[in-house]
């Protein structure tokens, strides 16, 4: 038997073993089909901010934090790996560039199927995420923050590393179509099924754009509204509304960080990724300020007793700034706040960024906060009262 034939047989058997492990993993099977919950606290706040006589409205959260790895990124890693395996591609290992959550998802799934995983991460994210990747058996390379145009950017470092390792694949979460498909064929249909196909508004932030576009396009096709909630220093909010990927913080001498100047982790863009580029036109954008993120997180903690992550706080604030009473609104609980104890939920870190800590606020102060949002909306296009 020739060496070439022997290698071919070995390769085919290896691919079959990987696919078998993938299909038999209870962990991987448990990804997706997350609950959709109506939260009365947010629903009542929207009704105060934008009154309506319609009785059927409310705000529902897709609980992506209930995935086994704690985020929707589990869906992405699962979808991308399955795509490679079903196309018969050789996969000897995986390399990804991630701010943390996608790295954790890949580390978990690679552990399940017996693949090595290597993750490049920027040095401005929570150390707890890096520890989790290592605990799952992945290796972590922490790199200095850099512009996406630089070869030192964590995504570019990951891409180049994968090229140098025979048989290894680059996860490429920002461009890989499997990210979009995970949500257009999974998350989106789950939401529509739970809502009986009736969604008036879908609002969320974006890190790669896969969920915003994958779910958003389904909602747009059914005549609903889609709002992209954006953060300081990021460009996609302006892009969806005006077609220009630019923000004030991108002025020369103004940029402090590689992608965005925000307390939020894992969201914000300095470019339009392939997955976000799949989003159809007609999307609204709303800017969520830094103090808004802290305020929304503390408000939800007071109302629900749950510490949310910064991206979830941005989503909730986006709903309060754009949702209309009587609308059936869906947003996403991306992750819990447990991974952000050293940032969003650390008083010294928050105040060190010139932001106010809201732990001591009483109910009267929160009522005034809601009224303040109502006033802010009066000057916003499409804001103010609900349209009955």
Task: List the domains of the chain with CATH numbers.
Answer: 36-71+179-375 (3.40.50.1100), 72-170 (3.40.50.1100)
Across residues 200-213, what is the average pLDDT? 95
**Predicted local distance difference test score (pLDDT) of residue 255:** 44
Sign of CA dihedral 68, 71, 77, 80: positive
- Alpha-carbon span 347 to 170, nearest angstrom: 37
**Predicted local distance difference test score (pLDDT) of residue 268:** 80
pLDDT at 23 over 90: yes
**Predicted local distance difference test score (pLDDT) of residue 386:** 47
Structure tokens at 264: 């939020």
Q: pLDDT tens digits for 116-155?
A: 999 999 887 778 889 999 999 999 999 988 877 889 999 9
- Alpha-carbon span 257 to 384, nearest angstrom: 34
Residue 5: pLDDT band with limits 50, 70, 90: very low
- Among the listed residues 218, 214, 196, 194, the one whose alpha carbon sits nearest the alpha carbon of residue 206: 214
- Among the listed residues 214, 165, 158, 157, the one whose alpha carbon sits nearest the alpha carbon of residue 185: 214
**Predicted local distance difference test score (pLDDT) of residue 128:** 83
Across residues 106-125, what is the average pLDDT? 94
The torsion of the CA quartet 54, 56, 58, 61, rounded to 10 degrees, works out to -150
Residue 384: pLDDT band with limits 50, 70, 90: very low
**Predicted local distance difference test score (pLDDT) of residue 379:** 72
**Predicted local distance difference test score (pLDDT) of residue 253:** 39
Structure tokens at 21: 């492990």
């Amino acid at each position: 038997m020739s060496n070439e034939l022997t290698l071919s047989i070995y390769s085919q058997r290896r691919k079959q073993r990987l696919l078998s492990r993938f299909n038999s993993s209870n962990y991987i099977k448990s990804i997706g089909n997350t609950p959709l919950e109506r939260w009365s606290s947010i629903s009542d706040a929207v009704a105060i901010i934008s009154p309506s006589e319609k009785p059927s409205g409310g705000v529902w959260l897709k609980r992506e934090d209930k995935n086994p790895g704690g985020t929707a990124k589990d869906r992405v890693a699962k979808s991308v790996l399955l795509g490679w395996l079903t196309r018969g591609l050789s996969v000897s290992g995986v390399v990804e560039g991630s701010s943390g959550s996608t790295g954790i998802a890949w580390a978990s799934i690679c552990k399940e199927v017996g693949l090595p995983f290597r993750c490049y991460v920027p040095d401005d994210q929570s150390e707890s995420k890096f520890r989790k990747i290592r605990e799952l058996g992945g290796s972590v390379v922490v790199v200095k923050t850099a512009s996406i145009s630089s070869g030192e950017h964590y995504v570019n470092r990951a891409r180049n590393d994968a090229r140098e390792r025979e048989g290894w694949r680059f996860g490429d979460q920002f461009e890989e179509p499997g990210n979009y498909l995970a949500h257009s064929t999974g998350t989106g249909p789950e939401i529509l099924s739970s809502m009986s196909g009736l969604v008036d508004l879908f609002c969320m932030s974006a890190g790669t754009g896969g969920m915003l576009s994958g779910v958003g396009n389904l909602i747009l096709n059914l005549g609903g509204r889609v709002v992209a909630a954006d953060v300081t220093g990021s460009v996609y909010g302006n892009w969806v509304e005006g077609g220009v990927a630019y923000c004030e913080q991108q002025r020369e001498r103004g940029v402090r960080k590689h992608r965005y100047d925000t307390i939020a982790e894992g969201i914000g863009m300095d470019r339009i990724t392939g997955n976000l580029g799949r989003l159809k036109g007609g999307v609204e954008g709303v800017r969520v300020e830094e103090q808004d993120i802290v305020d929304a997180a503390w408000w939800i903690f007071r109302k629900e007793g749950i510490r949310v992550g910064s991206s979830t706080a941005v989503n909730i604030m986006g709903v309060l700034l754009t949702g209309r009473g009587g609308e059936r609104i869906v947003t996403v609980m991306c992750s819990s706040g447990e991974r952000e104890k050293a940032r969003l939920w650390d008083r010294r870190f928050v105040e060190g960024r010139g932001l106010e800590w809201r732990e001591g606020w009483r109910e009267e102060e929160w009522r005034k906060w809601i009224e303040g949002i109502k006033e802010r909306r009066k000057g916003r296009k499409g804001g103010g009262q609900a349209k009955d």
